[in-house]
Structure formats: C-alpha cells, structure tokens
Amino acid sequence: MTSMKEDDKKEIPEIIRDPQTGCTYQRLRFFGKGGFAKCYEMQDLATEQVWAGKVVSKKLLVKKTQKEKTAQEISIHRSLLHKHVVGFHNFFEDSQNIYILLELCKKRSMMELHKRRKALTEPETRFYMHQILLGVQYLHHKRIIHRDLKLGNLFLDDDLHVKIGDFGLAAKIEYEGERKQTVCGTPNYIAPEILTKKGHSFEVDIWSIGCIMYTLLVGKPPFETSTLQDTYKRIKKCEYKIPSALRKPAASMIVLQLQANPTLRPSVDKLLQHEFFSSGIMPAALPVSCLTTAPRLDQLIEGEPIHRRPLNEVNSNDMMAVDSPVKPQPPEELRAVESTGHRQNLMALRDQIASLLTGKLKCRPECLTDELSDPAAQPLVWVGKWVDYSDKYGFGYQLCDESVGVMFNDTTKLIMLANGVTVHYIDRQGKEQYMTMHKYPSELEKKMKLLTYFRRYMTEHLMKAGASVSVRESDGLSRLPHLHQWFRTTLAVIMYLTNGTLQINFQDHTKIILCPLMQAVTYIDVEKNFRTFRFATIEEHGCDKKLYTNLKYALEKMNSILTNKLC
C-alpha cells in the first residue's frame, strides 16, 4: 500500500514553515479528516512539541462565506483559554493551505468512546458531564455559543479529561437578547428552535448537552430514528423516552435540559448545582481502560470537594480457586467457556465481513492510502506478543499496553496490569477477583509463578507486533479486555478478546485486527505498517489482494467457530 497520494505530498509539504514566526514544523502521521480539513500530527522542530495540525486547502474555500467562516472559527478559538477547551497554539498560511495548530488529544473523541462502550456507568457520566459543563460555562461567560456540541467534538487527553473542540459553527452574542437565525448543527443534537427557525441563543447548547448526557447513560441518542425526517419530527415534538433503569437524579437532569421551550432550560451554572452531581460517586480520575471497559466501581476514588455516599462493594472477597490438573485440549479446539454474549458479538462481526466480501469488492494493489485510513477507529487493545505452552500449562500473551495474561488449560485466567502489581483472577464461571503480585491466596501460588514466567519469557525473547502506543501506568480501577479464547491452525493463530476484537496473526507475519464496534479492520503488513480502515471505506474503494485473502480466511474461521458452537 502507498503511504500517501502524490497530490497530497505536493499540496501538504513534509516540512512546513510559518513565515511570520520562522517556526518550522514537520508533518507526521495522518490523524483524520472532516469538512474542508485534513489533520496530521505536526512537530515543532525546535521544541519537539507535537500538535494537531488542521490543514485547510485554499482550493476548497471558493465562496466568500467559506473564507469568512474559517476566519471566524480562528478568531473565536484563538480567544479561548480553558482546561476543558482544546488549546489553540498558532495559525498561519502559505500559497496553498491554511494551517491551524491545536492541542493534540491522543485519546480521540467521545464518539469513539461511545462506539466502543455504548452506555457508560453513572460515575463515568458524572465525571465527563461535570467537565463538559465547566467548559461550556466558560464559553457562555465569554458570550460564545458553540452550536455543535456533540460526542464527536468532545476530545479526550491522556488523562481522559474533556476538551471541547471544533468551533466551525460557533457564534458570539454581540448584545443582550440577540437571537441567531442560522440553521446549523448535527441532526441528533440539534435544538427544536433551530429547526423551526424561531431564533436561538445559549439555550441550544443546553439542549445538546442533554442529548449528550442521555447518549452516555442510555447508549443511544434520545431522538435517533432511521431517517432524518423522523428524527426532526421527534425533536420538534420533544418526543423521547426515559428508560426506567435510569436513577431519578439522572432522569431529572435530562428532562430539565430537553425541554421544547428554550426559556425553561436551566443555565449551565444551575446545572452544575444539580443533585445528579451529589447523588453518587464523582471519580477523581478514570483509568485509560475505561475507553474499552467499565471501571471497577468499588475502587473508584471520589473527587473533592463534594461529599458523596459510597457505593456498596461490587466484588466479593471470596478468593476460592481451582488448580486441578486438566488434560490439554488439542490445538484445533478453542480454550473457552460457552458465552451467549460473545457468540452474538462474533455473529455480528461475521455478518459484517460476509456483507463486505459478497459485495462487488474491487481488488486493487494500491487503493488503500493513508488518507483513506481512519486512525480514530484504531483498536486500543490488541495482542502484541504471545507464547503457546498449552502442552503443559496454557497460553500466555501481552497486550499492547504491556499488561500480561495467561489463559490456563483449566480455562481460568490471570491478568497482570501494566503496573506489574495489580492482578485479576477469573475463575471457570467468569467471576473476577482482585489481588496483587505480593498478596494473593496461597492456592494461586503456582499460577502466579507461571504468570511471572510467561511475562519474563515474552519480555526477553519476543518482539512486539504492531505500532507502539503511549502507556500510562495502570491502577486498581482498570478492567482491561482480556483473551476469551484462542486456537491455532496451520496458517495462523486466532485470538478473540472479551471486547469483541478478533485478531489473526498469519505465519507470513501479516496480521489483521477486526473490530465489530468500530466496523473496521487494522492491517499490519510484512513491513509492520499499521493502518486501520473502516469496512465502508474498503467497500467503496476496494483493497489489495493480500488483505482480501486475509478477510476471506477470517470469515471461514468465524463460520467454523459458529457452526460448531465453539463460542
């Protein structure tokens, strides 16, 4: 696969110089695209600081209104400085492009979080909502309406702190009582007064935040339907349902925000005082594992200064374990326990790949370029190393974040987090127990020693597969996805993780990582190039013969697993 189209290399140079300041930047990896812009990581060659570089081609800014809109976005964003707003660093232009350098949020947007997790826990929602409201409070005090608040415009830094971004639709209220008339926004988050063209102000952001809160807690937007027309009808009628499972404080806060009459919606200041924020745990921080898996609620540390009632213990202190010898299973059989949920996930992935391959998929050798890749859909967790010792003990593996796991022949599992201290034990029934490398039940001593052995062997003898990722030290809150089952064939090792990810490592050292939630495949070629493509992109543009063959093989193996009811 080629790294980038020739036209892009000419239009977006690798070394970019700011003519005003003399600062020189190097264009690094492709980061994504949207609207008129393409995004790259850009490094200041003098300071080595890395920024998110938003590159807008002047060829696309044909109309006067488009140029004015870009100028307004820059003007508004550069005037902002707040911990929950994406930082604005610099902007400049040359003969071909406008360059906007912004704070780099490596954990992507909350849209990717939503796609991987669907509904979040209440403590997580409280954590994110508080930060969103603080950011919007700052904007409103500056008399700025964002007008496009949605999960895709809420970015996350390495500590999972929210940063509000994309001010392309933002507007400033110039005088008291001014009502804007422009129809703008995103369908699932747009306020009724925008659709009915009655004029709008700060209240449209409150409506959008209500939609965001509902989506985080319920797992889908409140007014979402299969057609745009029906969605708009429901918004105008303020027609949505609060699930009975939601606790009263959460339901109450959503209802306050999603009111058809904008004058009845509370201000951000009032929302910050809502009982939702004092009715349960407000985490002081969240582990990065929350991007893929719910945290351990019993271990969440409350933030200050608000006093909150403690949650009951979620996990039992029962440390019973089974360590009886079990005859190893033949290599072609899966090491797994029956699971309806995992079977459904695998069926969904199988159907996605089947649909992709049964279409008129074009096989072209150089059709998937970096520009068509979607780094936002890249898996957060994959198997970087593995060792098969199932003739005696089991299968060991290391995830990309340096955490290590062993799936023993008796189907029990041990997972050591990246900090090298915290350990999760999962028994045959799937019950989780938590301990450390220094304090654990005596009956687990043999397995703990084997975990240490597997870890040492992989560290000393094996190379990690795929791209490197930044690692933040894990803590006791983490509950990472782990290996659910695996098996070997004559051509590959196939590994299925508990978050639905299917990874296939082929003997020729190519690898594919399939994610049903992001509907994407990550392809690692023999040169260790690591690129992620949405299924929709492959369907539209085709793929090379090798990736096609790998996908076809994956489909065959998934059909075999499901037919034999091995998952």
* Integer Cα distance of 478 and 139 in angstroms: 33
Nearest alpha carbon to residue 373 among 511, 149, 536, 229: 536
What is the pTM assigned to this prediction? 0.85
Report domain 340-563's class. alpha beta
Buried b (16+ CB within 10 A) or exposed e, 441-453: eeebeebbebbee
- Number of Cβ within a 10 Å radius of residue 38: 20
Nearest alpha carbon to residue 209 among 293, 84, 315: 84
pLDDT at 323: 30
Longest pairwise C-alpha distance within the chain: 78
pLDDT at 453: 94
* Integer Cα distance of 323 and 295 in angstroms: 28
pLDDT at 471: 46
User: Which residues are the active-site residues?
Assistant: 148
Nearest alpha carbon to residue 40 among 367, 371, 467: 371
* Integer Cα distance of 420 and 338 in angstroms: 30
Helix 203-218, helix 248-257: angle, nearest 10: 150
What is the number of alpha carbons within 13 Å of residue 325 lying toward its C-beta? 3
pLDDT at 2: 39
Nearest alpha carbon to residue 108 among 377, 353, 371, 414: 377
Compute the radius of gyration of the chain from its Cα atoms: 25
To which residue do tokens 């700052």 refer? 138
Residue 525 backbone phi and psi in degrees, to 5: -85, -175
Task: Decide whether 14-102 matches 108-173+181-277 in CATH topology.
Answer: no
Residues 6 or more apart whose CB falls under 8 angstroms from that of 317 comprise none
Q: Order of strands, edge to edge, in the sheet holding 492-497?
A: 483-488, 492-497, 502-506, 511-515, 520-524, 530-534
Q: What do you get for the CA distance between the two ends of the chain, in Å? A: 34
* Integer Cα distance of 350 and 338 in angstroms: 18
Task: State the Cα angle at 493 between 487 and 495, rounded to 5°.
Answer: 65
Residues 6 or more apart whose CB falls under 8 angstroms from that of 325 comprise 410
Give Cα separations from 256 to 123, 251, 306, 376, 506 (angstroms): 20, 9, 22, 33, 54
Residue 501 backbone phi and psi in degrees, to 5: -75, 130
Q: Order of strands, edge to edge, in the sheet holding 15-17?
A: 15-17, 24-34, 37-44, 50-57, 97-102, 88-93
Residues 6 or more apart whose CB falls under 8 angstroms from that of 564 comprise none
User: What's the CATH fold of domain 14-102?
Assistant: Phosphorylase Kinase; domain 1 (3.30.200)
Q: Is the dihedral of CA 253, 259, 264, 266 positive or negative?
A: positive
Peptide bond into 516 cis (omega under 30): no
* Integer Cα distance of 484 and 498 in angstroms: 5
Average pLDDT for consecutive 10-residue bins of the chain (567 residues)?
A: 45 89 92 84 95 92 85 96 97 92 95 95 97 98 97 96 96 91 90 94 97 98 95 96 96 97 97 96 91 81 48 27 31 40 86 87 75 89 93 94 94 92 90 91 95 93 63 59 90 93 94 94 88 92 89 93 74
Q: For the chain, what's the residue count?
A: 567
Q: What is the CATH number of domain 108-173+181-277?
A: 1.10.510.10
What is the number of alpha carbons within 13 Å of residue 289 lying toward its C-beta? 23
Q: Domain boundaries in the chain?
A: 14-102, 108-173+181-277, 340-563
Q: Quick one: which H or E segment has residue 194?
A: helix 192-195
Residue 109 backbone phi and psi in degrees, to 5: -105, 170
